Amino acid sequence: MEFAELIKTPRADNVILHRPFYPAVEGTLCLTGHHLILSSRRQDNAEELWLLHSNIDSIEKRFVGSLGTIIIKCKDLRIIQLDIPGMEECLNIASSIEALSTLDSVTLMYPFFYRPMFEVVEDGWHSFLPEREFELLSSVTNEWRLSYVNKEFSVCPSYPPAVTVPKSIDDEALRRVATFRHGGRFPVLSYYHKKNGMVMMRSSQPLTGTNGRRCKEDSALINATLRAGKRGYIIDTRSLNVAQQARAKGGGFEQEVQYPQWRRIHKSVERYNILQESLIKLVEACNDQSHNMDRWLSKLEASNWLTHVKEILTAACLAGQCIDREGASVLVHGTEGTDSTLQITSLAQIILDPRCRTIRGFEALVEREWLQAGHPFRLRCAQSAYSNSKQKWESPVFFLFLDCVWQILRQFPCSFEFNEHFLIMLFEHAYASQFGTFLGNNESERCKLKLSQKTMSLWSWVNQPEELRKFKNPLFEANSLVIWPSVAPQSLQLWEGVFLRWNRSSKFLDEAYEEMNNIIEYNKELQAKVNALRRQLAELETDDGMQENS
Amino acid sequence: MGTLYLTATHVIFVENVSETHKETWILHSQISSIEKQATTVTGCPLLIRCKNFQIIQLIIPQERDCHDVYISLIRLARPVKYEELYCFSFNPKLDKEEREQGWKLVGLNEEYNRMGVPNNYWQISDVNRDYQVCDSYPTEVYVPKSATAHIIVGSSKFRSRRRFPALSYYCKDNNASICRSSQPLSGFSARCLEDEQMLQAIRKANPGSNFIYVVDTRPKINAMANRAAGKGYENEDNYSNIKFQFIGIENIHVMRSSLQKMLEVCELKSPSMSDFLWGLENSGWLKHIKAIMDAGIFIAKAVAEEGVSVLVHCSDGWDRTAQVCSVASLLLDPFYRTIKGFMVSKYGYLDGDPKEISPVIDQFIECVWQLMEQFPCAFEFNERFLIHIQHHIYSCQFGNFLCNGQKERRELKIQERTYSLWAHLWKNRANYMNPLYREDHSQTQGTLLPQTAPCNFLYK
């Protein structure tokens, strides 16, 4: 194992740890292959810090005399400081941390070494398979089939082995359509709207190029989702200009001539690389302690983060409206179909489908529309807001999606089975985790790495009743509504639970949440009592009745 | 589509929809401005902006009618005499006793007793019993024990509008107090022995500290400009044992413009996120809220943590002083976070001219709301309570907020001729309760110290 080589100094004493909300504490620092651990000198030798190396974005070293300081900036936006006596020790530890937090090989990551402390009742790797989802679908419609054309990942490397396509389209046709779409991502079913039978499909851009290449199987595929005489909408997440320019590189958009029954709408959503810059600026603004009111709002505005939130929510509402209000089917795509496309299809389902607002429904959504759909998590979540890397693959695409879900959750506090903590937990695990769920860029990679055999699934842990309890929303009242979020600027707030999490204590808000929980629990108890007493009363009344008659 | 009615007190719009006949009532006193907009094909639009930030657009088919309505509303919305105000004609059909009881619900003297005065350090002075010393102060004022009538009168002559330092809040745990006044007429070099003695008296009333803070809530520039007019601020050289502090809160003109800009932002049709955030920052509204909050925190910390008394003033000791003292007492004393307590705090501090449009109330209410957002368990009342109070301050339906002080209120016989808002709210208090509030909750105890980093101020 290479870890031992990377760790220059496995241990240092008299290290002082500074972290948010706790007073500085002194203890012994240990470096393992996967963690940074600080145990304090308190009686119980408690671990004050247990940090995954993979959670580290970047570190800074500073020296004052012989006292070295390492400032660790984490992907979950926490900033931690370690004061290490002795310059050489400090340097060794710093370079060890740097090496350990920038490991290339996936198989060296912690999920491959993690041994769960809990009993695995449900194997999360098999909880949300395409077969299961398809079963649910076939109970309401028989116009679709599950195709295994991609079971060797040879037709589309970023798709799962099984995809849902219209029944009338055979595998041969799918193979041809795959050659016509960027990265082989031919249109597949994303969502079926029970209320009116309309569907949402997603894909990548068509490879029309400058010659206006066409593919009749592609038109046939998406036309198969249209009802007789009805039109569909294609939502292109690029502006018309960008879509047109894409032709020069072999890409393009669906020409009206080839797709006469489809109306194309360009709803521009920012590309993933812009999002990363946005995040960096926003986090900088939040960490700025200068307390100057004058610049706060303009810094917030300059980061554009909330503008992105607004954009995506608007696009998702548009897709939702086409399906629910216009009663039309929709095809969503951008360029690669792995980023903004997925943001929109998954958010549209939150709006349209109450099932996606339940805990299991949301987990299934993440599995379907993000993990199995091939969002490149390993590339996108390699670094977060404190990134100092020059690469352009990192981007908070999934994080932005979670932010949008939070916005809707805040506007409709009774419509979600899960609470904010659930979303924050997903944010954390997407970037660094002991579970293998978010490793890999697509199902093909996950198969090759044998993740389902060698690592534990996040869902196995989350879905244990004791854990779920923390993530349940006490205000939840199941409803079957389509919920339309407001995208007016006043309605969109900064997600303090994540962005200001380490800057100010949430103690009072937590207390309020607990109080709310208590009130609801108490209410339930009283309600149960009332029910029991009513039953008693009913019994007594029938007893009396019987006695009178006898 | 519907019918518009104008009565002596209201504008009423009744919808033509057959079953519901929904009515929209607007009090004339709620109207902030009326704008006649350009005639379109459908008719003449009339835009009514209300003081509770509601905006109504009426499209009147005939130009002539529109003009008539416009002229009428302009006249009705600007009452010339007090008697025209709604509160004098509002009749909720309560009998005389109920009306009296309503006014007795909240009383200044009970409040001072609750705080623990009069006592060894503070006394009630009746030097102003005929409003001879200061006509905008009540007949009974609370002053330090060592402040003789001579000192009070002398000090009042050295203060703008004769508003000498008087007790506003007393902390019985450590004897620290908050006093209010107006600015001293110090000019560049004037002195007044009695005024200096007055401040000494305040200091002596708190044996736990050997100095007091004097807080001027104006920006330094404004205070200095006042010196040229023979007014100004306390010179630390002349007043022994004071620590002087400017906490710049802008004046009413700046605030009005800030409010105006913010309303414009809110009225934007389909703004982008950038438009909104830029506009909000440009208005400076949240910056002012933060300034008021910071001032309140400074005073609260001085009293609760340092145990030092504070004298607060601005120019005339009305608006900014009141705001800042109210915020400070809210932070210090859990009593003011109850429904009863909040009504008391408003009663004691609101002396202002409602005929003037001032955002002071709106700012104070927003400060309270920001606090409620940071401390959801600490307040007995909810957001609706604040909104209703704000509504009624401008509605003039109740007599609580008329006039500049007790003297005018007595002259106009407010208590005999109008009804009290507090009684009305108290009766409906079930609607205003905050379910998360518990008296014994840790959040409700003691002093609140909110976070004032800019990111903590929400917009909603």
- Checking if the pLDDT of A29 tops 60, the result is yes
Residue in chain A lying closest to B272 (CA): A489
What single letter denotes the amino acid at residue A498? V
Does a cis peptide bond (omega within 30 degrees of 0) precede residue B79? no
What are the chain A neighbours of B258 within 8 Å (beta carbons)?
none
CB contact under 8 A, B457 and A304: no
Which of B277, B378, B436 lies nearest to residue A516, judging by beta carbons?
A: B436
What are the chain B neighbours of A285 within 8 Å (beta carbons)?
455
Report in angstroms the alpha-carbon separations of A389 from A384, A410, A427: 10, 34, 20
Is residue B216 within 8 A of residue B233, CB to CB? The reply is yes
pLDDT along chain B (460 residues), means of 10: 83 80 80 84 84 82 84 78 73 77 79 90 92 88 93 94 92 92 91 94 93 93 90 91 91 88 86 89 89 91 93 85 90 90 68 58 88 89 90 78 76 81 86 82 63 64
| Cβ neighbours, 10 Å, residue B246 | 17
Q: Which of A1-10, A171-180, A516-525, B216-225 has the lowest mean pLDDT?
A: A1-10
CB contact under 8 A, B456 and A490: no
The angle that helices A272-287 and A397-411 make with each other, rounded to 10 degrees, is: 70
Side-chain-facing half-sphere of A305: CA atoms under 13 Å: 32
Encode pLDDT of A431-466 as tens digits.
999 999 999 999 999 999 999 999 999 999 999 999
The tokens of B56 are what?
A: 């109504």
Tell me whether residue B337 is annotated as binding. Answer: no
Tell me whether residue B316 is annotated as binding. Answer: yes
What are the chain B neighbours of A295 within 8 Å (beta carbons)?
454
User: What sign does the dihedral B355-B359-B362-B367 (CA atoms) show?
Assistant: negative
What are the chain A neighbours of B457 within 8 Å (beta carbons)?
293
**Which among B238, B154, B153, B243 is positioned nearest to B189, based on CA atoms?**
B238
Between A384 and B92, the more confident residue is A384
First to last CA, chain A: 86
Reported ipTM: the value is: 0.82
**What is d(CA B363, CA B285) in angstroms, rounded to the nearest whole number?**
9
**Residue B338: exposure state from Cβ atoms within 10 A (0-12, 13-18, ≥19):** middle
CB contact under 8 A, A310 and B273: yes
CB contact under 8 A, B374 and A508: yes
Residue in chain B lying closest to A295 (CA): B281
The tokens of B292 are what?
A: 């008021």
Task: Give B287→chain A minimum CA distance, Å.
Answer: 6
Q: Which strand (E) or helix (H) includes residue A35? A: strand A35-40
CB contact under 8 A, B455 and A519: no
Q: Which strand (E) or helix (H) includes residue B142? A: strand B141-144
CB contact under 8 A, B453 and A508: no
CB contact under 8 A, B281 and A297: yes
What are the chain A neighbours of B337 within 8 Å (beta carbons)?
none
**What is d(CA A312, CA B123) in angstroms, rounded to the nearest whole number?**
64
Residue in chain B lying closest to A508 (CA): B375
What are the chain B neighbours of A503 within 8 Å (beta carbons)?
453, 455
CB contact under 8 A, A307 and B452: no
B positions 263-292 inside 8 Å of A (CB): 266, 271-278, 280-281, 286-287, 290
Average pLDDT, chain A: 92
Residue in chain B lying closest to A514 (CA): B436
Tell me whether residue B414 is annotated as binding. Answer: no
CB contact under 8 A, A519 and B435: yes
B positions 338-377 inside 8 Å of A (CB): 374-377
pLDDT at B24: 81
The DSSP call for residue B88 is G
Whether B15 and chain A come into contact, CB under 8 Å, resolves to no
CA dihedral B97, B100, B106, B109 (to 10 degrees): -110
pLDDT at A390: 73
Beta carbon pairs, A and B, within 8 Å: 93
Encode pLDDT of A399-429 as tens digits.
999 999 999 999 999 999 999 999 999 999 9
pLDDT at B356: 54
Task: Give A218→chain B minimum CA distance, Å.
Answer: 37
pLDDT at B351: 52
Whether A489 and chain B come into contact, CB under 8 Å, resolves to yes
Which of B266, B273, B459 lies nearest to residue A307, judging by beta carbons?
A: B273
Catalytic residue among B134, B314, B325, B367: B314
Task: Give A20→chain B minimum CA distance, Å.
Answer: 15
What are the chain A neighbours of B272 within 8 Å (beta carbons)?
307, 310, 489
pLDDT at B419: 81
The DSSP call for residue A227 is P
pLDDT at A73: 95
Q: At a CB cut-off of 8 Å and minimum separation 6, what does B220 contact?
A: B246, B248
Residue B178 has φ and ψ, to the nearest 5°, of -120, 125
How many Å is the Cα radius of gyration of chain A? 26
**What is d(CA B183, CA B227) in angstroms, rounded to the nearest whole number?**
10
Q: Which of A298-312, A372-386, B73-87, B246-260 has the lowest mean pLDDT?
A: B73-87
Task: Give A239→chain B minimum CA distance, Å.
Answer: 17
- Strand spans (E) along B148-241: 166-170, 177-181, 212-216
pLDDT at B353: 47
**Residue A493: exposure state from Cβ atoms within 10 A (0-12, 13-18, ≥19):** middle
Would you give the distance in Å from CA B134 to the centre of its chain?
Answer: 20
What are the chain A neighbours of B262 within 8 Å (beta carbons)?
none
The model's pTM: 0.89
CB contact under 8 A, A490 and B442: no
Is residue A240 within 8 A of residue A266, CB to CB? The reply is yes
What are the chain B neighbours of A511 within 8 Å (beta carbons)?
376-377, 441-443
Whether A498 and chain B come into contact, CB under 8 Å, resolves to no
Would you give the distance in Å from CA A223 to the centre of its chain?
Answer: 31
Residue B18 has φ and ψ, to the nearest 5°, of -60, -45
Residue in chain B lying closest to A511 (CA): B377
The DSSP call for residue B240 is T
B68: helix, coil or strand?
A: helix
CB contact under 8 A, A301 and B441: no
Would you give the distance in Å from CA B47 to the centre of its chain?
Answer: 28
Q: Which of A38-47, A74-83, B361-370 has the lowest mean pLDDT?
A: A38-47
Helices (H) and strands (E) in chain B, counts: 16, 13
Long-range contacts of A345-348 (CB under 8 A, 24+ apart): A345/A190, A345/A191, A345/A200, A345/A202, A345/A319, A345/A369, A346/A370, A346/A401, A347/A312, A347/A313, A347/A316, A347/A401, A347/A404, A347/A405, A347/A408, A348/A191, A348/A200, A348/A316, A348/A317, A348/A319, A348/A320, A348/A323
Among the ranges A325-339, A498-512, B91-105, which has the highest mean pLDDT value?
Answer: A325-339
Give A67-106 as a DSSP string: EEEEEEEETTS-EEEEEEESHHHHHHHHHHHHHHTT---G
Q: Is there a catalytic annotation at residue B377?
A: no
Which of A293, A306, A508 lies nearest to residue B287, judging by beta carbons?
A: A293
Q: To 5 degrees, how large is the angle CA B452–CA B455–CA B460?
A: 105
pLDDT at B354: 46
Q: Which stretches within A432-506 are classed as H helix?
A: 443-448, 451-454, 458-462, 465-471, 496-499
Whether A497 and chain B come into contact, CB under 8 Å, resolves to no
**Residue B438: exposure state from Cβ atoms within 10 A (0-12, 13-18, ≥19):** middle
Residue in chain B lying closest to A293 (CA): B454
Task: Give B276→chain A minimum CA distance, Å.
Answer: 6
User: What sign does the dihedral A189-A192-A197-A201 (CA atoms) show?
Assistant: negative
Helices (H) and strands (E) in chain A, counts: 20, 14
The tokens of A54 are what?
A: 């993979």
Residue in chain A lying closest to B266 (CA): A490
**What is d(CA B204, CA B120) in angstroms, rounded to the nearest whole number?**
11
Task: Give B458→chain A minimum CA distance, Å.
Answer: 8
CB contact under 8 A, B453 and A289: yes
